[in-house]
Structure 1
Amino acid sequence: MSDLTLDQAIDNIYASIKNNNDDIDLHIAALKAAMARDGVTEAVFETGKLAQANRQGRKIMQSYFKKKGVAVSFSA
């Protein structure tokens, strides 16, 4: 999983979120590795692709990812 591109890792997270957070921790670890490899400090997610795009859902996601060591922001 460590050879995923950043975009592939983010797409896997979208799929996991839509699939009731199936293997989300593995996908977060792969995202973190891709970010480190690419020198990216923050993962950007599109709110339209999230299961819960409201403010509360975004804050929960940010908090969980922060605990895993990944900074998250959102685009429209």
Structure 2
Amino acid sequence: MTDLTLAQAIDNIYASIKNDNEDLDEHIAALKQAMAREDVKEAVFEPSKLAQSNRQGRKLMQAYFRKKGVAVSFAS
């Protein structure tokens, strides 16, 4: 597997979420590696691209990603 850029890793997360979280944990691990390579402390997601963009959905996503060691925020 080649090293993904941060943008590619985030796009893979969006695709995974749209496919009922298929391989989500693998994509989170790839995102975490991309963040380390690019020295980024927080992944920023577009709420409009999420399956559940309401507050509850965003908080659930943040909590799950935090358990995996990834800080998440959402673009305004």
Q: State the match for 1:42 in structure 2.
A: 42
SS at the partner of 1:15?
helix
CA apart distance, 1:2: 5.5
- Structure 1 unaligned spans of 5+: none
With normalisation by structure 1, the TM-score equals 0.97
Paired with 1:60 and 1:51, the residues of 2 have a C-alpha distance of 12
- Match of 2:71? 71
Paired position in structure 1 for 2:57:
57
Deviation string 1:6-34 (CA, Å, 9 cap, x unpaired) is 00000000000000000000000000000
Q: Percent identity?
A: 76
Q: 1:28 aligned to 2:20? A: no
Runs of 4+ in 1 over 6 A off after TM superposition: none
Give the letter aligned to residue 31 of structure 2: L
Query: Matched residue of 1:51: which SS?
Result: coil
Q: Relative to structure 1, is the Cα distance of residues 18 and 65 closer, same or farther in structure 2, using a 3 angstrom cutoff?
A: same
